[in-house]
Amino acid sequence: MIEQVLDELRRELGAVGIRGRFRRRILVESEDHLRSDPEAPARFGAPHDVANAFAAELGARRSRRAAVSAFAALAVAGAVYAVAFVGASFAGVPDPDTFPILAVLAFAAIVFAPQVAFVSGVLAVIRALRRREPVLPSAELRVINRRTGLALLSGLVTMGALALFAFELRSELAGWWVTFTFVGTASASGLLVLAAVPGIGATLLRPQVAGEAGDVFDDLGLGRTGPWRFALLIAFAVALAVWAAGTVQGDPLDGALRGLMEATACLGGFAVFGRFLGLRR
């Protein structure tokens, strides 16, 4: 009887993604519990439910840990990006019209990928820290894991694009900037890869817990309105901020054009990633 229960529990643990050392530990403790009391097998519960309970709690912990680890690694990558971006103005960046094609593509990635990484990473860690329950719905765990994964991927794209940009223009840029960019992007990329390890562990778990994933209003604790109305308000606020910055710098027309581009990018990102990242239901 006990061996049958343990065999079934072993299969169910594997089915929900719990393997290796943690599965062996669960099986050892379960066997000890079952053999310590003659009535224990009758009260143990169905192996499927026991395995699902372990996966649900472990999944919530791993998803939170992955989101926080990703945010920390992205903070380092963001620091490298900021220093490289500011330093580029002193490194002799040539006129964009003279960029080779790979530098043009890298520059486009340098502009857009960091924004995706920042938004995804912030939303992942906000949801992970706001929801402190020991068990979360499976749909919500998928959203957190997707946000974490997209943030790390976008961070790696940013670091790769920055390194490619430095490589393509290495003969025209200051040597100190090129060296810093190569070293900084390589170091930050290593941290991003390490931060992906707990994220992969979180996605391997497959608990079945009922419940909805929520949306951006659950993330921010705001009053609920139409998701596209909210996206339009955010895009308008971003455009206004960019236009104001351009006006302060003495070029309101350029600021307005850049503000329009940023607003369009916000709405485009909401359209492309809105459902995938759980921003709208």
Scanning the structure block, which residue is given the tokens 């920042």? 118
CA distances to 20, 192, 243, 270 from 84, in Å:
42, 18, 24, 28
Number of domains in the chain: 3
Q: Which domain-ending residue is among 163, 192, 213?
A: 213
Residues 183, 81 share a domain: yes
User: In terms of domains, do 206 and 228 share one?
Assistant: no
What is the pLDDT tens value at each position of the chain, 281 positions in all? 678 888 888 999 999 999 889 899 999 888 887 777 666 666 777 889 999 999 999 999 999 999 999 999 999 999 999 999 999 889 888 888 888 999 999 999 999 999 999 999 999 999 998 888 899 999 999 999 999 999 999 999 999 999 999 999 999 999 999 999 999 999 999 999 999 999 999 999 999 999 988 888 888 877 788 889 999 999 999 999 999 988 888 888 888 898 999 899 889 999 999 999 998 87
User: Structural domain of residue 8, as residue ranges?
Assistant: 2-45
Residue 52 lies in a domain: no
3-state secondary structure the chain: CHHHHHHHHHHHHHHCCCCHHHHHHHHHHHHHHHHHCCCHHHHCCCHHHHHHHHHHHHHHHHHHHHHHHHHHHHHHHHHHHHHHHHHHCCCCCCCHHHCCHHHHHHHHHHHHHHHHHHHHHHHHHHHHHHCCCCCCCHHHHHHHHHHHHHHHHHHHHHHHHHHHHHHHCCCCCCHHHHHHHHHHHHHHHHHHHHHHHHHHHHHHCCCCCCCCCCCHHHHHCCCCCCHHHHHHHHHHHHHHHHHHHHHHCCCHHHHHHHHHHHHHHHHHHHHHHCCCCCCCC
Instruction: Indicate whether 51 belongs to any domain.
Output: no
Which among 197, 213, 229 is the end of a domain?
213
Which CATH number goes with the domain that contains 158?
Answer: 1.20.140
Give a yes or no: residue 53 inside a domain.
no
What is the structure's pLDDT at 40?
A: 65
Is residue 136 situated within a structural domain? yes
Region for 94 from its dihedrals, namely left if φ exceeds 0, alpha if ψ lies in -120 to 50, beta otherwise? beta
pLDDT in the model for residue 31: 82
CA distances from 128 to 14, 140, 141 (A): 25, 10, 9
Q: pTM of the entire structure?
A: 0.88
